[in-house]
Amino acid sequence: MNEDRYVAAIEISSSKIMVAVGKLRPNNQLDIIACEQDKGVEGVRYGVIQNLEDTSLRIDHLLNKIQRRSSVLPREIVGVYVGLSGRSLRSLTTEVSKNLPDETEITNEIISSLRAQALETAIDNSLDVVDAIPRVFKVGKTETTSPKGMVGDSIRGTFDLIVCRPELKKNLVRTLQDKLGIKINGAMVTALCTGQLVLRAEEKRLGCMLVDMGAETTTVTIYRSGHLRYFATLPMGGRNITRDITTLHLLEDKAEDLKTTSGDAIARDSVSSLNINGVKMSDVSNLVVARSEEIVANIIEQITYAGLKDTDLPGGIICIGGGSQLRGILELLGNQSDLTVRRGSLPTYIRIEDSKAPSFEIIELASVLYTGATNNKAECLVIPQREELPENGMSHPEQDIIDDYPEPRKQKEKKKKTGRTWWKPLSNKISDFFTGTGDDEDDIID
């Protein structure tokens, strides 16, 4: 690739919908040139689209806005990368094996067939398998993370299956492809994308936990020896705190403001005696502290569920997400776990040129955009063809204006459902890492 490529991604969460357009440079640097968002989404609950009509209208509005940005004109968005997140997403461990003729050299084809076998593992009928992430292999009696090239008469693989309820993917297709005619160029698990970009290689080798604190869900991913070890989504987040504050006879937007400006996850020695419009700040403090402690306790408990101890994660806890902006929440995590805690940030090869997109708000979307763009060459934006001049050679002034701007997108009444060819599991390149055909472990692995 010798020129910049325009790419687009969308994040649909319980607190907001965001659309971003970026330029991927030939050296794989990503410049995010435009971002638009719609907050206060009611049609999405716990990361799953509930109201297709409301969500599609909001997305349509955002697409029209971003296509009119000077940095995007005259291009039109025809495809997007989408992140998967929601409370039903989690990991299940499975083991699969394959007997081989004596002295067989392990090839990529053998490893791929083992992964395909893992993807077909029988699980709860209410869940879909999204991806199969390899953890470790055993060739004969030798354990390894890079089986390619080894020789043996059998191979066994341990995989982390990423699963979710079918509605999560189905409603994305119904909203984007069926209603809006926007092609899904790739759908990736948001937590895994952020893990590849936000976490340092040494943190993953030592053992660490990435915590993404959203509005209604908190995602926890744990890494050990450089690889995914555990993944879970908790049905709680920053909105739980906000709704607790509404019990003080406040509307949710006012409660959110109080949480943001005055909330503190740590119970301090000095408590404010202020009374603002009949609301005691001491009452707000008690509610914020109590719910914060509950959320943090559930986060820390995931270490035990993963079969680990705090001492197994010397890489510490890395936090992202809007909920992590609450004052004192990182300190509380450190106090309850005795682990080092830091705030996650984007790597230097992703630059945000749009001042309307704060870094902490766009980490997840930027990670999905970068992962999709570097692993998939599908077209996201095109320049619409200009209409030919009439036979008399005269153009209409109003037509010239229309040509300068993308035509507003119209929702499609009906659209034949597409197949599942858009589904591109994230682990294709991760599998290369295990098999020794990918980049070095200090490189980005998507």
CB–CB of 141/149 below 8 Å?
no
Task: Report pLDDT digits (tens) over 186-198.
Answer: 999 999 999 999 9
| Residue 359: per-residue pLDDT | 82
Closest C-alpha among 240, 234, 238 to residue 220: 234
Q: How open is the CA angle 435-439-445, to the nearest 5 degrees?
A: 90
User: Quick check: 358 pLDDT over 70?
Assistant: yes
Q: What is the DSSP letter of 176?
A: I
The pairing of strands 316-320 and 341-343 is parallel
Q: Please, which pLDDT band fits residue 425 given cuts at 50, 70 and 90?
A: very low
Task: Report pLDDT digits (tens) over 50-92.
Answer: 999 999 999 999 999 999 999 999 999 999 999 999 999 999 9
Q: Which residues pair with 208 in a beta bridge?
A: 223, 316
The domains located in the chain, with CATH, are 5-87+167-191+348-386+403-435 (3.30.420.40), 90-164 (3.30.1490.110)
User: Quick check: 249 pLDDT over 70?
Assistant: yes
Q: Please, which pLDDT band fits residue 151 given cuts at 50, 70 and 90?
A: very high
Which residue shows structure tokens 């030939």? 26
Residue 31, C-beta contacts closer than 8 angstroms, at least 6 positions apart: 22, 23, 25, 351, 353
- Side-chain half-sphere exposure of 324, counting CA atoms within 13 A: 25
**CB-CB neighbours of 271 under 10 Å:** 13
**CB-CB neighbours of 144 under 10 Å:** 15
User: Quick check: 29 pLDDT over 60?
Assistant: yes
Closest C-alpha among 250, 251, 212 to residue 234: 212
User: Quick check: 304 pLDDT over 70?
Assistant: yes
Q: Please, which pLDDT band fits residue 355 given cuts at 50, 70 and 90?
A: confident
The pairing of strands 350-352 and 30-39 is parallel
Task: Report pLDDT digits (tens) over 375-384.
Answer: 999 999 999 9
Q: What is the DSSP string of 92-116?
A: EEEEEEEEEEEEEEP-HHHHHHHHH
Alpha helix stretches (DSSP H) within 274-320: 281-305
Q: Please, which pLDDT band fits residue 436 given cuts at 50, 70 and 90?
A: very low
User: Quick check: 1 pLDDT over 70?
Assistant: no
Alpha helix stretches (DSSP H) within 140-219: 166-172, 190-198, 201-206
Alpha helix stretches (DSSP H) within 199-237: 201-206
Check residues 343 and 126 and name the one with the higher pLDDT.
343
Closest C-alpha among 321, 326, 367 to residue 344: 321
Any idea how long the chain is? 446
Sign, CA dihedral 213-214-219-225, equals: negative
Q: What is the DSSP letter of 175?
A: I
d(CA 389, CA 102): 71
- Report how far apart, in Å, the C-alpha atoms of 352 and of each of 10, 29, 140 are: 16, 11, 48
d(CA 234, CA 417): 32
Task: Report pLDDT digits (tens) over 379-406.
Answer: 999 999 876 655 655 544 444 333 444 4
d(CA 218, CA 321): 9
| Residue 429: per-residue pLDDT | 47
| Residue 278: per-residue pLDDT | 82
Check residues 426 and 57 and name the one with the higher pLDDT.
57
What are φ and ψ of residue 45, in 5° steps? -125, 130
User: Quick check: 440 pLDDT over 80?
Assistant: no
Burial of 303 (C-beta count, 10 Å sphere; 0-12/13-18/19+)? buried
d(CA 142, CA 134): 16
Q: Which residues pair with 342 in a beta bridge?
A: 318
Check residues 344 and 419 and name the one with the higher pLDDT.
344
Q: Please, which pLDDT band fits residue 409 given cuts at 50, 70 and 90?
A: low
Across the chain, what does the average pLDDT equal?
87
- Secondary structure E strands in 364-434: 381-382
